Amino acid sequence: MRLKIALITGDGVGPEITAEALKILDAMAAKFNHRFDYSFYLAGGKAIDHVGSPMPESTILGCKDAEAVILGAVGGPKWDYLEGNMRPEKGLLTLRSELGLFCNLRPAVIYPQLADACPLKSSIIEDGLDLMVVRELTGGIYFGKKGYDKEKGFAFDTMEYSVHEVERIAKIAFEIALKRDKKVTSVDKANVLETSRLWRSTVERIAKNYPDIKLNHFYVDNAAMQLVRNPNQFDVIVTSNMFGDILSDQASQITGSIGMLPSASLRDDKFGLYEPIHGSAPDIANKDIVNPIAMILSVAMMLRHSFDLEEEAVSIEEAVKKTLDNGWRTDDIFSEGMKRVGTKEMGTLIAQQI
């Protein structure tokens, strides 16, 4: 099979982890007789430095022409002085919007090999952890009307949602739950926010089409508390853009390291953008210490969701597990008795397992 992929290496550790993703794809091509055609594009801080825009039109067009997109990470303190539409993160929001990527899947899984890296008591996670955060990605406060008047010392950000936006993300959450433990937790702040009241009523209406799914509701503050108190009560969490951003990062720490968790940003068809949930981490960039596993598992998600290559996706996931079984660890997941390796060596070890 010949597959067309757009690559955005980005800023900070982005180029390092993207290089390991390519290493994995090379191994996949050799094992399963695929051909991956890559096109490289600028975004984020690097794009600002080179062409004066965090999201050049050429990048948007190139991504639209591809079958899937792999993204490293964008941003860093070098560009913190910039405002509004010139910030690297704004470029990523623009790309998500232009590509129609309204659904963000963020799985949080504790690998048995890394149970000792979880900051929670062992009794809390003795049965492991496997939950899916389904985050709405192109609406809410990140995309609403905003303003900043420095002279008046006043700023505002507007959270907006339509029934249609909530319906389509809720349907995906329920469909995913059908293939898991058939439980959906909708997270909102319906005691305070009008958008959350619309969110809750819409999710409840969609739930009537899924009688086999158990639905419950949590306020976002309670959800954050329950994630550390009893994370195994959750199966699929569906929530808004900002709440999903925060809760999925919290869930990542329960698993032991944010460096382990992938994500997929999807629309109605097979097209998707795949990236680790961690940021550009400029403080550890170019030191060969960043964990590439989140990016490597994002590649597995790409093969599964965009190309329907389930066997290939599983082979990557199994290669990660075997590498961890053999005791290899990057700094973020290292513990006594394990074997410490850098970014490049971890990627090579996983590729060799494939």
**Angle at Cα 205 formed by Cα 203 and Cα 208, nearest 5°?**
110
Rounded Cα distance between 167 and 352, Å, is 43
Query: How many alpha carbons fall within 13 Å on the CB side of residue 157?
Result: 8
Active-site residues, by number, are 142, 189, 221, 245, 249
Residue 158 half-sphere exposure toward CB, CA atoms < 13 A? 6
**Residue 147, pLDDT score:** 93
Instruction: Please tell me the distance from the alpha carbon of residue 91 to that of residue 100, in angstroms, as a whole number.
Output: 14
Instruction: Kindly report the number of other CB atoms within 10 A of residue 249's CB atom.
Output: 17
Same fold across 1-101+262-354 and 119-254: yes
Rounded to whole angstroms, the Cα distance separating 99 from 155 reads: 29
Lowest mean pLDDT among 92-96, 111-115, 222-226: 111-115
The predicted structure's pLDDT at residue 257: 86
In 3D space, the residue among 103, 125, 106, 107 whose CA is nearest the CA of residue 116 turns out to be 125
Could you tell me which residues come within 8 angstroms of residue 197 by beta carbon, excluding any fewer than 6 positions away?
190
CATH number of the domain located at residue range(s) 119-254 in this protein = 3.40.718.10
Instruction: Answer whether residue 114 shows pLDDT above 90.
Output: no
Q: So where are the chain's domains?
A: 1-101+262-354, 119-254
Q: What is the pLDDT of residues 175-217, one digit of tens each?
A: 999 999 999 999 999 999 999 999 999 999 999 999 999 999 9
- Tell me the pLDDT tens digit for each residue of 244-293: 999 998 988 888 888 999 999 999 889 999 999 999 999 999 999 999 99
Structure confidence by residue, pLDDT tens digits, 67-82: 999 999 999 999 988 8
DSSP letter at 101? -
**pLDDT for 84:** 78
DSSP string across 46-66: HHHHHHS-SS-HHHHHHHHHS
Q: 2-29: per-residue pLDDT in tens?
A: 999 999 999 999 999 999 999 999 999 9
What six digits make up the tokens of 304? 């599964």
List the structure tokens of 305: 């969701």
Among the ranges 63-72, 77-86, 333-342, which has the highest mean pLDDT value?
A: 63-72
For the stretch 220-229, contacts whose Cβ atoms lie closer than 8 Å and that sit 24 or more positions apart, written own/partner, are: 220/187, 220/188, 220/189, 220/246, 220/247, 221/189, 223/185, 223/187, 223/247, 224/250, 227/251, 227/254, 228/120, 228/254, 229/124
How far from 27 is each of 38, 49, 175, 327, 328, CA to CA, in Å? 15, 33, 32, 21, 19
Give yes or no for a contact between 181 and 145, defined as CB atoms under 8 angstroms apart: no
Could you write out the three-class secondary structure of 9-26?
EECCCHHHHHHHHHHHHH
- pLDDT reading at 123 higher than 90: no
User: How does residue 354 score in pLDDT terms, banded at 50, 70 and 90?
Assistant: very high
Mean pLDDT to the nearest integer, 218-232: 96
Q: What's the whole-model pTM score? A: 0.92
Query: What CATH architecture is 1-101+262-354?
Result: 3-Layer(aba) Sandwich (3.40)
Burial class (CB in 10 A: 0-12, 13-18, 19+), 40: exposed
Q: Does residue 311 surpass a pLDDT of 90?
A: yes
